[in-house]
Structure 1
Amino acid sequence: MQTVYRLSIRNKTSEQLKFKSIWSHYSFMEVHFSFQVFLSFALVVIFGLVFRVYSSLVTKPHRLRQAFKKQGIGGPPSNFLLGNISDIRRARISAPKAGAATPSPPFFHNCGPALFPIFYEWRKQYGEIFMFSLGNIQLLHVNQYDIVREISTCTSLDLGKPKYQAKEFHSLLGDGILTSNGNFWARQRKILAPQLFMDKVKGMISLIQQSTIILINSWKDVIDDQGGVAADIKIDNYLKKFSGDVISRACFGSSYSEGQHIFQKLRDLEKISSKKVLSTGIPCMRYIPTQSNRRAWELKKDIKALILKLVNQKNEATSENNLMQRVVEEAESVDFIVDNCKNIYLAGYETTAIAATWCLMLLASNQEWQDRVRAEVLEICNGRIPNSDSIKKMKQLTMVINESLRLYPPVAVVSREALKDLKFGNTYIPEGVNIWIMVTSLHTDPDIWGQDSYEFKPERFSNGISGACKLPHLYMPFGIGPRICLGMNLALVELKILLSLILSDFSLSLSPKYVHAPSLRLVIEPENGVDLVMEKLNSPVIA
């Protein structure tokens, strides 16, 4: 029995060992198979990424360039990864500063060649239409009048804002109305546009008047501190505070002081973004934790927190129907609120202030036109603060504003992207190609505006924009087509009330400190600011 029992145990042990051996072999095979599956999947992913990168950096750019070459459209040779970025940088570094060699006051206003020196060289070499690239992004420079007309009148959602700008400036603008496309953009426009129609802007005029009076009184305080007659004042920050106050009051139901931290952080973020313009198209640059990228991410987070804090405060305090309230009511998400608030703050704050700065510089350096506009304002207003009825009658002032926006447009380049294959005239533009229209070039082209195109001559607008040049559609200080600036009405009313009141209370001349040096950041602005000698008039409108 014991022998049988031992044999039984021995057989069971043998079977167990055999089973373990089989199971171990099976487990090994299973692990091996899993490893092979994982390795195959990893290789597929790696090859997919390599193919995608190769397609993005090599195949697609080559295909797009070939599409233009077949149409007889050339351009400068493009380098791998950088495209023409190095060429553009070298040209900007070696070019003289815009206006650096011009006397003060400037007599000629041709800042384009200094801001975009190599583009003027390329135009001479390749013609009015040529291609170039920023990294792997392919762009078509268009200066041909008939094609610009077609682009400016195109209403298709297939022609939108460049996707690369939305990516590169995402910290600054998010997915707001300035960068979005398609039905999402159309919905945002439907929400925002009615709040900036002229009938709504008329209701904001008292707010604009209040902000202007605050500005003028601050200048009078400076003059009083310097003897009571005149003072040398750098006007830039005052005007930015003014425009910030207007946009805060009119659109957010607050004031500049409440939104001051938002404006400052947006300004800091804008400076960082403008420095990265020429790294656009270099793969993955926006993801690398460089010092500027880390600072941009930090500012984005701070701005979001400040905007949401302001929104919550205003929602609790009032049910006032303003633009911000409309955005909050229609918001799909928190980011929808934050992004569109950032877009409104930036567009209303920066561009209007800089437009006013250039306009005052031109008036200060052209005494005849300053006197003409002042006489018109005093006659129409007769000692009263200008309102919606009186500013309509200010023809001389309107001519000066139009001429200032012609010579120093807030936006130097109108850019679009073909979101699908498009055709303008005989030019086929494949999907993914970006279009650049140089506003500075078109606004000062002697063939359009005459041989005095670089001179400040507001009289050219005596019969309106249509009578000012041969091709009125080429005048585009507020952009073109369906994407034209929503705040145009507000900006023009701001400028008219601001300038009319300033000229009613002060005589202006350029300071000896002033150095004429237009500079390109996200907008064209005076690099060193604008210094004016401001003298109080004997019979001011604002006592």
Structure 2
Amino acid sequence: MGILLLVWVGIFLAKAVWWVWWRPRRLERFFRQQGMEGNAYRFPFEDVLEQRGWNMEAHSRPMSLSHDIVARVVHWMRKKIPKHGNFFFTWLGPHSQVVIEDPHVIRDILAHKSGHLTKMTPDTLLKLLVTGIVIYDGEKWVKQKNPQSGLPGGEIEGNEEEEEEEEEEEEEESLVVSPFLACCTEIIDGWEKMVPFEGSCELDVWPEFQNFSGDVVSRTAFGSSYEEGRRIFQLQVEQAVHLIQSLPGVIIPGYRFLPTKRNRRMKAIDREVKGLLRNIITKREKAMQLGMARDDDLLGLLLESNQSYAEEDGNQEKTRLTTEDVIEECRLFYFAGQEATSVMLTWTVVVLSMHQTWQDRAREEVLRVFGRSKPEPEGLSQLKVVTMVLQEVLRLSTPVSFIYRTTQTAVKLGDFHFPPGVGLLLPSVSVHQDPEIWGEDAHEFKPERFSEGVSKASKSQAAYFPFGFGPRICMGQNFSMVKVKICLAMILQHFSFELSPSYVHAPHTVITLQPQYGAQIILHKL
């Protein structure tokens, strides 16, 4: 017994030494032999602490009113790129990561279909916030994807020409536009009550758009189960805060099993969210069996599409989504839908407050197309100026600073070879503002650069990927753009706005790009 224990301890220690020392050092030598640069591996978390220190320094103070946000959002990258170039390695504990800024290599990575590259498989703590199709690969991804093609925007695959991206799936979108317009009307009515006649008021639009987006997702996803949906939204917001505060520890083996107060709370939220979703889904499935189910919300569309696809395929056990699969997709509705809408609307209002001329041009276009009537999906394709504005906002204030992939097998990317298990960080935040790609005015707000479409806006079509690229592009990108266009159009119809003197410009990343101190504007009723 004693000998077996010693053997077990020896094997454990050998694996630990391999994981925290020998493998990272071998990878470092492998990278350097190919001419790649980066920090030396320092046991075990020095690189993480260095990067965290730089970012904390940058986030400790606001920045001037500028669109050049890279130095604040990812300060550690601004420190390393001049030293190591646009292709360098770094360390997340003993895990190697390679930062790639070359748009041609990025295009190859995001368009990869051979199985050599996968999405990042998140730590269990990350799965407490978001799961679903966004993190899957292989057969599991195909299984989750096929029923989702029946949702608004679900037919999008690959980064097609911008003309195709701008085409709206009007018939599908009309099923969820009605509850969305109801939410827009409520926020407009609420703001009008705040502003005195021929007067103005200060308003922080960041929490306004967060609550608005949560209501939108709750209504469009769950329809009559709206109140239960609001509770899920509140829990998911709390979960995101806990997750960010826990991130420094997720690279420590076994951290998620520690019975800390935060870990216990995160798991309790996860159980409650799953319970609420399971109850909503079960009731809807029973109603479908009785022929009384509604199919005018996202949950109804997903369940109906799931059933239809499984029946057409003929192998329901293999292709039909389980209740747990549907729960995962519903959680993704919240994370992707709420975050994308609130972040895009917030930065669009901030940017248009900074650039009054473009605000006036966008308003003139909205009034010409819709007058004072509520915007309808079929008219959105006529909003050329609004579309250019949103595309430029997404370039300068891209919601997600990085896209992450992992090498599943040995693969060559650009001039470098990679073994399995290497993380690839694709920094959209810096690629979107690279002067070598976008010109000397890369840090300026110039929507006219998109006047002839995305493909002609820069020197490389692969330099613009706010929704990703290739076969794993965000399936809901069209739907997100529709929501933002409608809400922005209604705001422009009723109000003009400018930055408040109390606004502090401090973009920072909390999973998505957010205003650290809020987004205060002065609202004027028209």
Query: If the length of structure 2 is used for normalisation, what is the TM-score?
Result: 0.88
Alignment of 1:489-528 (within 5 A): 489-528=478-517
CA gap of 1:424–1:81, structure 2 versus 1, over 3 A, is same
Residue 244 (1) aligns with residue 221 (2): no
- Show the counterpart of 1:191: 147
Gap change, CA 1:294 and 1:186, over 3 Å in 2: same
- 2:197 and 2:465 map into 1 onto residues whose CA distance is 43
Separation in structure 2 between the aligned mates of residue 410 and residue 162 of structure 1, nearest angstrom: 18
Report the CA distance between 1:213 and its aligned residue.
1.0
Give the Cα separation in 2 of the matches to 1:405 and 1:316.
41
What is the alpha-carbon root mean square deviation over aligned residues?
2.1
Q: What is the CA deviation profile of residues 304-351 of structure 1, one whole-angstrom value per residue up to 9, with x for unaligned ones?
A: 222223323444565123442435757654432322211121110112
Aligned twin of 2:244: 274
Kindly provide the CA deviation profile for residues 98-147 of structure 1, in whole angstroms up to 9, marking residues without a partner as x: 7x141xxx2x2111111211222211111111111111211011112321
> Would you say the 8 A contact 2:45–2:93 is kept in 1?
yes
Give the TM-score normalised by the residue count of structure 1.
Answer: 0.86
Q: Which residue of 2 aligns with 1:172?
A: 129
**In the TM superposition, what is the alpha-carbon distance from 1:535 to its structure 2 partner?**
1.6
CA contact (8 A) 1:230 1:533 kept: yes
Structure 1 counterpart of 2:142, which letter?
A: A
SS state at 2:151 partner? helix
Partner of 2:78: 120
Q: In structure 2, what is the equivalent of residue 473 of structure 1?
A: 462
**Shift in Å, 1:97:** 4.8
Aligned equivalent of 1:72: 35
* Partner-residue secondary structure (3-state), 1:415: strand
Q: Distance in 1 between matches of 2:47 and 2:113?
A: 31
SS in 1 for 2:521: strand
Alpha-carbon deviation of 1:78? Answer: 2.1
CA contact (8 A) 1:192 1:323 kept: no
Output aligned runs, 1:253-264, within 5 Å: 253-254=223-224, 257-264=227-234
- Determine the structure 1 residue equivalent to 2:294: 320
Instruction: Label 1:512 to 1:314 Cα distance change in 2 as closer, same or farther (>3 A).
Output: farther
Match of 2:334 among 336, 345, 348: 345
User: Superposed, which structure 2 residues align to 1:198-237 within 5 Å?
Assistant: 198=169, 199-223=171-195, 226=196, 229-237=199-207
Tell me whether 1:92 sits opposite 2:55 in the alignment: yes
Q: Which has the larger radius of gyration?
A: 1
> What SS class does the counterpart of residue 251 from structure 2 fall into?
coil
Matched, 1:151 2:109: yes
Q: Deviations over 1:414-442 (max 9, x none)?
A: 11001111112322111100000111101
**Number of the residue aligned with 1:16:** none
2:273 is aligned with 1:303: yes
Asked if 2 retains the 8 angstrom alpha-carbon contact of 1:246 and 1:255, the reply is no
What SS class does the counterpart of residue 90 from structure 2 fall into? strand
| 2:100 equivalent in structure 1 | 142
**Matched-pair identity in %:** 30
For the pair 1:459 / 2:448, whether they are aligned, the reply is: yes
1:85 offset after TM fit, Å?
0.8
In structure 1, what is the Cα distance between the partners aligned to 2:401 and 2:455?
21
Contact in 1 for aligned 2:496/2:523 (Cα 8 Å): yes
Preserved contact between residue 215 and residue 230 of structure 2 (Cα < 8 Å):
no
Instruction: Give yes or no for contact 1:76–1:122 (8 Å, CA) kept in 2.
Output: no
From 346, 349, 355, give the equivalent of 2:344.
355
Q: Greater RCO between the two (CA within 8 Å, min separation 6)? A: 2
Q: Partner letter of residue 486 of structure 1?
A: M
User: How many equivalent residue pairs?
Assistant: 491
The Cα offsets for residues 384-418 of structure 1, whole Å up to 9 and x where unpaired, read as: 22212211011000011001111111110011001
Q: Does the 8 A contact of 1:166 with 1:179 survive in 2?
A: no
Give the drift of 1:186. 2.1
Structure 1 residue runs without a partner (length 5+): 1-37, 538-543
Query: Partner of 2:150: helix, strand, or coil?
Result: helix
Q: Distance in 2 between matches of 1:382 and 1:94?
A: 48
- Report what 1:23 is aligned to: none
* Structure 2 CA distance for aligned equivalents of residues 230 and 193 of structure 1: 45
User: Aligned partners of 1:528, 1:384: CA distance in 2, in Å?
Assistant: 34
Preserved contact between residue 113 and residue 471 of structure 2 (Cα < 8 Å): yes
Q: Does the alignment pair 1:56 with 2:11?
A: no
